[in-house]
Structure 1
C-alpha cells in the first residue's frame, strides 16, 4: 500500500464537484429511478412483471431494496419496456457518459461516504458519479472513501484521509483494512481484519468498541491505497 502526499492545489484538481441539485439527482437509487419511471408512464408493477416475464416480488424487491444487485438480462428487459437507457436506469449516468469515462478517464475513482455505500448496490459504485473523484492509476473496479474519524490511526488512517478500496479483492489478511457492510443494519464500516480462534474478526484500534465476526459482516473490498492532504 502506498501513501501519497497530495497538496491542497492537487486535491482541488483531483475533485470534480458538481452542483447540489445534480448530486441529488445522481444519488437516487436504481429502485427510485425505476419507481419514478413507472409512475411517469402509468405502468403498474403487475403490468411490468407481465411484460418482462419477471415476478412481481422481484420487481418490488428491486424498488424497496437499494442494495440488491440486478441481473443484466432483467435490467435490459425492464429498460426495453420503459424505453430508457439501461445504463442510466441502473447507475443514473447515460451510457455515453460512462463510455467517455471508460475511454478517456479510466483513472477516475469516485469518492463515496460510508452512508452511500450502505444505501447503494455495491457493484454500481465504481461506475456512478458521486460528484467527487480522485485520479489513481491501476485502480479498476475501485472506490474511494473519506475517513471521518481516527479509529484506525494505528493503520495510518485519520479523519480526512482518502482510502481507495479495491472491490475486486475481498480476501482478508492480517492487519488489512477492509470495507465492511454489517449484515444486520446494512451500515458500512472501515475495519481492520484480525485472525481469531474461529476465523476472521474485524475491529478498530480501541478494543472496547468490540469486533465483528465473519458471520456478521459482508466484506466489500480491501484497502489498496491511502492518500491524505498532508502527512500528520
Structure 2
C-alpha cells in the first residue's frame, strides 16, 4: 500500500463554488472537466453517472452553486412544474434521473423538460447510477435525445482519492490523524465518499465524548460500534 500521507500530494485541491474544497482525481476528472465546460456543452443535457458514494451528488451541488439551478428527482418529474423549473435559472439538476426509465409519465416529463431547456438555451445536469444507454427508456424520442447528449462516468473512489478525502474531512474538524490511522481506515471501511463522511463524523464525536486523541484503538472501537 502506498503511504497514505503521500497520497494527497498526487491530487489537487480546487475551490468549489459551494464553498468547500473539492478534490479532483482520475476517478472524477472527466466529469469535472465537463462541468467546467458549462455552458459550452454540445447539447442541452449532460449525464453524470456512477455508483452510490462516488461523489456525483457533490458534483451536482458544485454545479448547482455555479448555475443556481433548482433540483428535482426523476421520480418527481411527472408532477413538477416543468416550465417554472427551467425558467428559474435556465438550468436544472435531475437527481436519480434513471428513475424515469419504464415510467411513461416520467419519461414524457423528462422529454418535455429537455425540449424546454433546448428551446431557451438552457441545460440539464442528469445524475444517475447507470449510463443512459442502460436505462431501458421506452419513449423513442427521449432515447434519441439522451443518445445525442454527452454522458460521463464517475468511478468509485480509489485509494488515493479516499485517503485524501479522509485527510481533508479530519482537517475540517481540526483533527490531524496519523498515517497509521488513515491506513487502518482504508483497509477496513466501505470505499465511498458517503462512508468517509460518516466515519469521520463518528470518530470526531467519539474523540470529543471520550476526550481522547484520534488513535487506532479509538478508531477500532468506532468502527466496531458502527458495524454493530
TM-score, with length taken from structure 1: 0.29
Structure ranking higher on relative contact order (CA contacts 8 Å, 6+ apart): 2
Higher strand share: 1
Higher helix share: 2
